[in-house]
Amino acid sequence: MATQAVKKRKGRISKGHLLSHAYIWVLILFIVFPIYIVIESSFNPTGVLTSGSFIPTQFSWANYHQLFTDPHVPFPRWILNSVILATANALIAVFIGGASAFAFSRMKFRGRKIGLQALLLVQVFPSFLALAAIYVMMERVYTVFPPIGLGSLGGLLLVYLGGSMGVNIWLLRGYIDTIPLELDEAARIDGASTPQVYWLIFFPLAAPVLAVTALLAFIGTFNEFILASLFLTDVHQRTVAVGLNSFVGAQFGQNWGPFAAGALMASVPLVILFLSLQRFIIGGLTQGATKG
């Protein structure tokens, strides 16, 4: 009887394992299939997404060659613009967001609670509601100081920073609140000032969550399309998302081959950044789960 029960139990376990593996492989196929289509289309010289079958029948480097040789397609410049814009936004957002979150979490001042509530309230409204106002405002700025006005990367950076501050401050403040106050008090007893407490205690302890915030800011800026397409009209000032859209944005002139090739090339900086910060990302998740 005991032997039969064990066999039945093993049978149930094996069936459960088979169902789990089948479910995992289905998810993997759903994830890999779009990537496969993009890769296949990038080597397809006909400019369509698929050639009628999922097995490639033609192979060519023409789409990649067009990205780097066509004078009307400054793809390297688009990549450089996106990297510069995303890097600047990530670094400045982390610096300002970290300092603001530290102030809201550790310092007492008038308007602290109202300020936090205002930041939260602003995030409730969709960002596209302010597109018209932002456009008019940056157009006026352009008449006074063109480097940060409409059509410039500097002006677009200012808009990105203003839109991401609320989320970053709330995210970082939640993490700072888990750091024991005893560390601050011990440092102040030893004579540390508020900036020293920030740089010597908070900054090293919050490195994982700062890395996660920087990564999210970089990816969000690198992939952003709506604001970039509204602000950047010059072909040489475009980001990679706006530039690649020119291949498929026309109603009767969609060319998916260069678009797919450019999308694969544009994913390289994101993959490198993610792999570089993977240790900090894992540390931030595990520390955030065990703190408190």
Judge if 180 and 53 occupy the same domain: no
Determine the average pLDDT of the residues in 146-163. 85
Domain identity same for 124 and 244:
yes
Residue 51 inside a domain? The answer is yes
142 within some domain: yes
In a domain, 237, yes or no: yes
pTM score = 0.81
Could you tell me if 116 and 151 lie in one domain? yes
Whether residue 18 sits in one domain with residue 105: no
**Assigned domain for 67 exists:** no
49 versus 231: the higher-pLDDT residue is: 231
Residue 185 belongs to domain with CATH number:
1.10.3720.10
Range of the structural domain that residue 26 is part of = 14-60
In this structure, the answer to whether residues 54 and 82 fall within a common structural domain is no
Q: Are residues 44 and 163 in the same domain?
A: no
Does a structural domain hold residue 26? yes
For the ranges 38-52, 132-146, 155-169, which has the lowest average pLDDT? 38-52
pLDDT reading at 53 higher than 70: no
If you ran DSSP here, which 8-state letter would residue 130 be given?
Answer: G
The answer to whether residue 257 sits within a structural domain is no
In tens, the pLDDT along 212-223 reads 888 888 988 998
Interval 246-255: pLDDT, tens: 888 765 567 8
For the segment 255-267, the average pLDDT, to the nearest whole number, is 88
Residues 18 and 56 in one domain: yes
Got the DSSP string for the chain?
A: -HHHHHHHHHHHHHHHHHHHHHHHHHHHHHHHHHHHHHHHHHT-TT-SS-SSSSS-----SHHHHHHHH-TT--HHHHHHHHHHHHHHHHHHHHHHHHHHHHHHHH---TTHHHHHHHHHHHHHS-GGGGHHHHHHHHHHHHHH-GGGSTTSHHHHHHHHHHHHHHHHHHHHHHHHTTS-HHHHHHHHHTT--HHHHIIIIIHHHTHHHHHHHHHHHHHHHHH--HHHHHH--SGGG--HHHHHHHHH-SSS---HHHHHHHHHHHHHHHHHHHHHTHHHHHHHHHHHHH--
Residue 8 in domain: no
Q: What does the pLDDT read at residue 270? A: 86
Those residues with Cβ within 8 angstroms of residue 16's Cβ, 6 or more apart along the chain or in another chain: none
130 with 222, same domain: the answer is yes
CA dist 209 to 121, 166, 182, 263, 288, Å? 23, 16, 20, 28, 8
Same domain? 54 vs 22: yes
Residue 221, in any domain of the structure:
yes
Residues 276 and 168 in one domain: yes
Instruction: State pLDDT tens for residues 102-127.
Output: 888 888 888 888 888 887 777 777 66
| Spatial contact of 207 and 277, defined as CB atoms under 8 Å apart | no
278 shares its domain with 194? yes
In total, how many domains does the chain have?
A: 2
